[in-house]
Structure formats: C-alpha cells, structure tokens
Amino acid sequence: MIKLISLEMHKFKIKTYVLASVVSCIVLLGFTYLISVISRVEKDPLFQSYSNIFKFIGIMSMIIFTVLSAVMYSRLVIEDYVGKKLVLLFSYPVSRSKIFLAKVCVVTLFTVIALMFSNVACLFIFSITELICPIVRDMLTPFCFLGTLQSILLIALTVGALGILSMTVGFIKKSMPTTIITSFALAATVGNTIMNGSFKIGLILLGILIVLDILAVRETIKKINQMDAV
C-alpha cells in the first residue's frame, strides 16, 4: 500500500498542491491581520478577542482546504474513473480497491498535514508579531494558544473526513463541479457548527463523519469492483 501511495503521489505532481497550500497560508495570515486591524479601527469588540479571531480563521481554513481536497479528488479519483482513463486504470495488476484506497490516502494525508502546517504557521507568526507590536486589545494567554492548537488538529481531521464525503457525492454523480460544490457546502455548515459549539461537540461530529466515511468508502469500492472498463 505504501508503494502504491508513493506512486500515486509521483503521478499526481503533488508540488502543485504544496504551492497551493503555501498560498493558502499566506491568504489566511493576511485575513488574520486584516480583520484585526479593521476591528481595532472600527472598535468592534467581536474581533478584538484572540479566541474569536482564531475561530474565524479556523472556519476559513476549513473551507479552503476542504475545497482543495475536492479539487484533488476530482483530478485523482473522478477523472480516473470516468472516460478513457478507466481502461488503463483497470489494466494494473493490482486490486481495484487497493488503488482506490491509495488515492484516498494520498488526498486525506496531504490535506490534513497541509492544513495543520498552514494554520500552525499562521498562528505562530501572528502570535509573535502580537507580542512585539500588538494590534488586538486582548491578552494572548498560553491557555488560548494551546486551545487553538487543539482546535487546529480537530479541524484538520474534520477536513479529511469532509473531503471523502465530497468525493463520494462527486463519484456517484460522476461530476467534478458537484464534488467541489458539495465540499464548500459541507465545510461551511460543519465549520460553523464546530466553531459555535464546544470541543466535545466537534469530537462527536468528527466521530459521526468518520463512520459516514467508512460506509461511503465501502460503498464506493463495491461500485468500482462492479464497473466494466469499456
């Protein structure tokens, strides 16, 4: 399986999506400073709180990286299982389920790791500049910092789960636009629920998503095994 994952990564040209993740990190950092400055100028108490700022960035990153995972799934899964590529894919001397699972692993691992690195980098850079020249009229405590790191891990795992669900919908419809639209809708809905709820609610929601992912992957594998290369 590890060799299959490595081959999929090489075939997929992962560097393009590494660059996209770096750009996403820069965009998130820019948004962080932008809402901080605007809230200070407008004297808006909502975003003069570090916890609220980090929650907002969490929702933004969830949307960005869930859509990114949908784009990756569209290229790596939807395209491969529709049209002429299907003949080549089914000619490999490897079981269909293993090939599919390797593709899912590539996208899931990449988006989870990329989101974590992106958000942690954004958090550290913003926190350091706030210690030197603060914009936000709030106290950045170790408790808030550690709580944000905990939320980043939850968000990253949730994005991985949402990406699989989006891929499943796109696979059923055999449509790349459907995959991307579904990912945006799921990320916006789930992100808002997580940010407005407690960490425990987020964990429960993640557990439900993982169960749905397992069922979705099993059903997709069944469909793939029943497909004919025409």
pTM over cut 0.75: yes
Backbone dihedral region of 43: left (phi > 0), alpha (psi from -120 to 50 degrees) or beta? left
Token code pair at residue 207: 């557990």
Average the pLDDT over 14-41 and give the result.
88
- 42-61 per-position pLDDT tens digit: 877 777 788 888 888 888 89
**In the predicted structure, residue 83 carries a pLDDT above the cut 70:** no
Average pLDDT over residues 156-166: 94
Residue 2 lies inside a defined structural domain of this protein: no
- What domain range includes position 132? 14-226
Could you tell me if residue 3 is inside a domain?
A: no
Domain count, the chain: 1
Least confident window among 123-127, 217-221, 222-226:
222-226
Please write the tens of the pLDDT for every residue from 167-185. 999 888 888 889 999 999 9
DSSP string, 143-169: HHHHHHHHHHHHHHHHHHHHHHHHHHH
For 104, residues 6+ apart whose C-beta sits below 8 A from its C-beta are 77, 164, 167, 217
Q: Is the pLDDT assigned to residue 159 strictly greater than 90?
A: yes
Residue 136 lies in a domain: yes
Q: Is residue 4 part of a domain?
A: no
Helix (H) and strand (E) counts for the chain? 8, 0
Distance CA 80, CA 100 (A): 10
Asked, for residue 109, whether it belongs to a domain, the answer is yes
Q: According to the model, what pLDDT value does residue 212 have?
A: 94
Tokens 């639209």 correspond to 181
- Alpha-carbon distance values, 70 to 50, 55, 67, 144, 165 (Å): 30, 23, 5, 31, 9
Residue 77 lies in a domain: yes
Ranges 12-16, 204-208, 225-229: which has the least confidence: 225-229
> How confident is the model at residue 9, as a pLDDT?
66
Q: Which pLDDT does position 12 carry in this prediction?
A: 67
For residue 50, tell me if it sits in a domain: yes
Alpha-carbon gap, residue 171 to 74, rounded angstroms: 9
Q: Is 1 within a domain?
A: no
